[in-house]
Amino acid sequence: MRASLKTINPISAISLWTFSSQLQDFSQPNPSWSPEMRKFYDHYNAQCDTDTETYENKTGPWRKLPSYNRSIKHATGGIYISKLIQAKARLFTRSVNEQGATFEYVAFFNKEEKICICLFQPGHLLEGAPGHVHGGAIATMIDTVTGTLAGYLSGPSVTANLNINYRSPVPLGSVVIIHCALDRIEGRKTFITCKVTSTDESKVYTEATVLFVSIKLGSLFG
């Protein structure tokens, strides 16, 4: 369904399941992924309601979310708008071409349970303390994944408050799971809880609460 930016409603503004042969999905497996990363990708992908290669419908509670190099490309007609507005701009987490160097991640969304999980493998260019991930990179991923969940539940939203508690440093090259869940929605406000854990969930690295506020998509364009 086509609509102008001024008439798009909050849900259709972010095309929930946009798949296009013209767009590169940066959350597909690549050679930099560790066996653990691939193992958990296969685990969740097997439970998806759409085959990510053939796009055939399946039965499953999860949906793999595509990841493009600009958020605007998720909007209806976004691939064309991207060429007109700051054409050289790139999503921060998708701005480095070297595979495995920075943010390797893939997210899955469960609409019924209103949760989102993300597999994250931090690369060597994200170092803070020696051998460990910079806290700002972890905050970036928390903001990215919780923002994705808020967008799918409430339409276009911006971060209003991000509160993080760092429990333990994340080793570079490890694989962690970012768990996000809807806490509540109050008018234009969407409250999301989040935690970052080891893949077996025995260790909690980070916990966070995030508040998002719904906006009109047109406000981003002045």
- Tell me the catalytic residues: 143
- DSSP label of 85: S
Distance (Å, rounded) from C-alpha 118 to C-alpha 171? 17
Q: Which helix (H) or strand (E) holds 86?
A: none
Give the containing element (helix H, strand E) for 79.
helix 78-84
Nearest-angstrom CA–CA distance, 68 and 28: 11
Residues 74, 183, 138: CA angle, nearest 5 degrees: 60
Please classify residue 169 by burial: count the beta carbons closer than 10 Å to its beta carbon, then call 0-12 exposed, 13-18 middle and 19+ buried.
middle
